[in-house]
Structure 1
């Protein structure tokens, strides 16, 4: 068995929903021991939310199952005095704490960075939030779609004759998760040299601005917002042919490619009259319409083959189920599974990063609420009698 890159790292996961749990799952995939602290009974809020009102195994949320593999669950009432003692005991041996409660909540409960640093000066404490821990938006809810709207992403997406369009995935949250991971890993490396922990703060608003760096730079330095095209052009700042085009049986994408080469494939030399950078931007919707009239006469497979033969940057447009069966996806082993005690065999997306010496792996399904409470407390030094007493008071819950 190969070693794991983070096998000697313990993460106390006080996060919920998507941003924090995805980050801690990424750490768990790399071998970190992740203790997920959840409310007794209810657990993580994502356990009660799902898409299309559909539940795996009749009760398990796909949303929760997607972001919580490789973790163990400790069901703990954080408002109880007994829970405070448990958290403090776990912090003594933890390396990382990740939380994305609203700013100030955990500090009021006694679990803020300053309190935990007194117990373990080497602790790396990462706080995720929507807007940071101060400022005019402090009390606003920080949710993915709201952040997409505030940072220009939704306004730059979709057609100019329709409404702004949020991305069809939790993009802000997932970018936030990646920022947590890179911050935590950098802090771990610095701690190896300095012996000191630190407080990392990640917020969705700044994260989404950073991940639109080229769009923000363009808009700010030319003092002009992008104008969304009224056609299938795929980016508000790009000229034709960049975009999504219809075929007889689906859609294809065309990225930055020589216009004349694409025209040669489609067989209408009259379009060469547009082959000028200014024309291809100023009249891009008109160009798209003329190109789309030609692409509609091709099947997807035939057009892709013809474009690839001429080194056009192109691809098919696929649904999620079609992506699962994509030959390159299959070749990469990008889809995996785990066996869950309630949901059964669950298909999941595999870890995306390949390591030659310390491979990431899926070793545990997403846990049930409190599934590992007794096990975790035993490891922390509690006797069975002490655990029984905590369960009796309601401070701890155990799922058998």
Structure 2
């Protein structure tokens, strides 16, 4: 089947998570992603993993997570000849993506203006932690740091406990989505105007934007939402919204009529709290009372009773549990691809469904420089030129 972005080529200088996730999303939709990497080491994520565990004994799961559907060219960016190579490729490229610290690409000679001279239609997208200027511009733009700086960590967890970061790279992934949003908008504009443009995305703006509901309340009332001292699920919510223990685990209960919940639990004495102000002011006390009741149930029995009463609820599952979830299996969300070194790699498949141009996993995450010579041939470099670049150590051909 055709792919929505099959005629789009992306020159990808990005590394770690934000940029690579953005280009993976574009690659899933059919864009050709040419990942520019350092000879030898490549993307820093190739050297990072959790608990010193490596897929197939050699490959980083962190790298494999964000780099499928890409080709890799290994080239020394500091070599003068590298500019000749990359700018020749850029003549036929639609998008350039990079997420180095502000100023790095310009100092190396790969800023927007340099690419624009080669290809006026080019779309150049930069990702940073805190924008291009200002008092934080030299700070590292790492995910957990941004969660702390934007109030997300301070709004998560219990009142008498420490701030709690989210258990995933939330800021980077939101930044990646903003990159894709900007790039697709720019591609659409270029179809009408013929003009390329520069896009700048930063994690500070992205993470604040995605807390807009909480920020609007705080900014307009001049006070912070106070964290609960129980498992109420949000600092602005009243009881029963939260997580509750059962005999064999936990369940979540979202926005639901309090009276109906108490009825299901068979605890009419708790109706004394059934008042909007009381449900907020005494939410921790109410949570404790409700938890005493939910602990009498098994997870399956409580969910069955709550769902029958049209109460919003669900299981609390670990990542390992999720793999066997019946809805996850039904939707085919867990899939795999074959990697030349790691073997079969289990992954979460593309999240967007399209009737005419469905996304797919067409390539595994690449080896460093695996496609260097193939890419150069495709962009018009002769065998003699390729051999010369290889012999002088400017490029590297990786072996699968």
Give yes or no for TM over 0.5. yes
Aligned to 2:263: 264
Which secondary structure state, in structure 2, belongs to the residue aligned with residue 22 of structure 1?
A: helix
Mapping for residues 334-373 of structure 1, pairs under 5 Å:
334-373=333-372
Write out per-residue CA displacement over residues 92-136 of structure 1, whole angstroms, 9 at most, x where no aligned residue.
000000000011111111110011001100000000000011000
- Partners of 1:87 and 1:385 in 2: how far apart? 17
Verify: 1:274 aligned to 2:269, yes or no.
no
Question: Could you tell me how far apart the structure 2 residues matched to 1:385 and 1:161 are?
Answer: 68
The corresponding residue for 2:139 is 140
| Whole-angstrom CA distance in 1 between matches of 2:323 and 2:94 | 36
TM-superposed CA distance for 1:82, in Å, is 1.1
Q: CA RMSD in A?
A: 0.5
1:41 paired residue number: 40
Q: CA deviation at 1:190?
A: 0.3
Aligned-residue offset at 1:399: 1.1
Secondary structure of the residue aligned to 1:160 is coil
- Measure how far apart 1:161 and its partner are: 1.1
SS in 2 for 1:246: strand
**Inter-partner Cα distance in structure 2 for 1:392 and 1:306:** 71
Cα deviation for residue 391 of structure 1 reads 1.1
Indicate the residue corresponding to 1:168 in structure 2.
167
Cα-to-partner distance string for 1:296-320 (whole Å, 9 max, x where unaligned): 1111011000000000000000011
Q: How many residues align?
A: 399
Which residue is equivalent to 2:382?
383
The answer on 1:219 being equivalent to 2:218 is yes
Question: SS state of the match for residue 380, structure 2?
Answer: coil
The residue aligned with 1:302 is 301
- 1:388 and 1:325 mapped to 2: Cα distance? 50
> What corresponds to 1:61 in structure 2?
60
SS in 2 for 1:186: helix
The answer for the alignment partner of 2:11 in structure 1 is: 12
Task: Give the deviation of 1:178 after TM superposition.
Answer: 0.2
SS at match of 1:348: strand
For 2:124, the equivalent position in structure 1 comes to 125
Quote the Cα distance in structure 1 between the aligned partners of 2:289 and 2:298: 17
Instruction: For 1:85 and 1:320, locate their aligned partners in 2 and report how far apart those are by CA, in whole Å.
Output: 46
**1:321 corresponds to:** 320
> C-alpha displacement at 1:32, in angstroms?
0.1
Alpha-carbon distance between aligned partners in 2 of 1:59 and 1:292, rounded to the nearest angstrom:
46
Provide the secondary structure at the position in 2 that maps to 1:93: coil
1:131-166 deviations in Å (ceiling 9; x for gaps): 011000010000000000000000000111110000
The separation in 2 between residues aligned to 1:211 and 1:392, in whole angstroms, is: 49
1:78-97 to 2 correspondence within 5 Å? 78-97=77-96
1:228 Cα deviation (Å)? Answer: 0.7
Shift of 1:38: 0.3
- Give the whole-Å Cα distance in 1 for the aligned partners of 2:378 and 2:38: 20
Q: CA shift at 1:90, angstroms?
A: 1.0
Show the counterpart of 2:27.
Answer: 28
Partners of 1:134 and 1:310 lie apart in 2 by: 54
1:200 aligned residue: 199
**Post-superposition shift, 1:386?**
1.1
SS at 1:252 equivalent: strand
Mind listing any 5+ residue stretches in structure 1 that lack a counterpart?
none
TM-score, with length taken from structure 1: 0.99
d(CA) in 1 for partners of 2:163, 2:110? 40
Shift of 1:181: 0.3
Greater Cα offset, 378-387 or 160-169: 378-387
- Report how far residue 52 of structure 1 moved: 1.3
Aligned counterparts, 1:151-166, within 5 A = 151-166=150-165
Q: How far does residue 57 in structure 1 lie from its aligned partner after superposition?
A: 1.4
Structure 2, unaligned runs of 5 or more: none
CA distance in 2, matches of 1:134, 1:172: 19
